[in-house]
Structure 1
């Protein structure tokens, strides 16, 4: 039986503005890109991430929405298509979450990965989990424990970004040519080999949500 010819690669772009915080619209936008990537025979998801403040509690209305956000990021990590994060400036909150969930990260020289701080303590988000899994270097330990920003060159040396470029998303054709052929269920399997097991992820997610809930309750009680 003759195989169906492969379609041209579709580039699916999503803007993730860390300053806008977490919203149902953002969850829907990333989920929609995942839908199209799963339906298309060849796709490349490009997340344009930037910005973010140090008070995630103000942008996390409730744990239910946070749970949906982590679910869609986990779905992004399991897509049968490659994903790229094009990163600018400070990268915190949902921007940091999305960037760390991508397969390939291209950072502008001004990029800083900034663990958020809420009520005087580092926000216990899953970005910390992903940072620690991607790199065990000392710079990551200081970021996870004390919230120290990680500059672009530090992130490159630590393996948190793959390139540093003046225009992270200026040449989508280059990305398409390099990554559009990376497609299919085997891609998800290879990701799992690089990451922790599903059971370890689910355990980390449960602890993360509980810790975030405690931070939000303290912020409410102190208001």
Structure 2
């Protein structure tokens, strides 16, 4: 997996311009085709204490936008989560395609000033975890989502005692898929819950046409 890009996110650290830049830089590399079709995101740690005094909505907006960019990359984005996972780590985890967790993982929203942080991790937890009681407790009261619950709610794809082997297996599966084509399917999947059949049909037919043209081109060569 020497061609893989790797992004490491420490959830104990506060949001900063450097964190935004680090994610932006790895997105640049993935979009330039430097990833071999894969990006590995290693996440761990969760913040403690109040919100940083210098945190601004402008910085939060930049962070959320760069995570959205991560979520739409023309590459398979595989996360490996370990231990407590909150703050920046949880944000990044929930924006990935395939999520591997160690048995010690606990997902939790940061809590400060008597409330949970209302960023887009809250949105992704609610959107991806539906109306489960564990998600409601996490969103409202900051209760951690243990590894077993996270797996049952499909917030993560597998819990393992051997993250290295699990990552190698997931990367092997991902290696057979085109990053650009994966990005198209991912967007179709994202749009499916908010788009009517009639509205979606044209976009799906265009994707089918693209697939047929690619197959024809491959057969001709």
Q: Quickly name the TM-score band, shorter chain normalised.
A: 0.7 to 0.9
Establish whether residue 15 from structure 1 lines up as the match of residue 31 from structure 2.
no
Establish whether residue 35 from structure 1 lines up as the match of residue 28 from structure 2.
yes
Distance in 2 separating the partners of 1:145 and 1:62: 23
Assess if the C-alpha contact under 8 Å between 2:78 and 2:99 holds in 1. yes
- Tell me the matched-pair count: 193
Q: Given the alignment, which residue of 158, 168, 173 partners 1:178?
A: 173
Distance in 1 separating the partners of 2:9 and 2:43: 5
Match of 2:60 in 1: 66
Larger radius of gyration: 2
**1:26, distance to aligned residue in structure 2 (A):** 1.6
- Please provide the CA RMSD for this pair: 2.4
Q: Given the alignment, which residue of 159, 163, 170 partners 1:164?
A: 159
Distance in 2 separating the partners of 1:106 and 1:82: 13
After superposition, the C-alpha distances for 1:19-47 in whole angstroms (9 at most, x for unaligned) are 11212222111111111111117321111
Moved more, 96-105 or 160-169: 160-169
Q: Given the alignment, which residue of 91, 113, 120 partners 2:114?
A: 120
Assess if the C-alpha contact under 8 Å between 2:100 and 2:167 holds in 1. no
* Structure 1 residues without counterparts, runs of 5 or longer: 1-7, 201-223
* Structure 2 residues without counterparts, runs of 5 or longer: 196-221
**1:191, distance to aligned residue in structure 2 (A):** 1.8
Assess if the C-alpha contact under 8 Å between 2:109 and 2:142 holds in 1. yes
The TM-score normalised by the length of structure 1 is: 0.78
Match of 2:127 in 1: 133
**1:182, distance to aligned residue in structure 2 (A):** 2.7
**1:183, distance to aligned residue in structure 2 (A):** 2.5
Q: Given the alignment, which residue of 78, 89, 100 partners 2:83?
A: 89
After superposition, the C-alpha distances for 1:61-102 in whole angstroms (9 at most, x for unaligned) are 212211111111100111110101100111010000000001
The TM-score normalised by the length of structure 2 is: 0.79
**1:170, distance to aligned residue in structure 2 (A):** 5.2
Distance in 2 separating the partners of 1:24 and 1:139: 32
Distance in 1 separating the partners of 2:116 and 2:126: 14
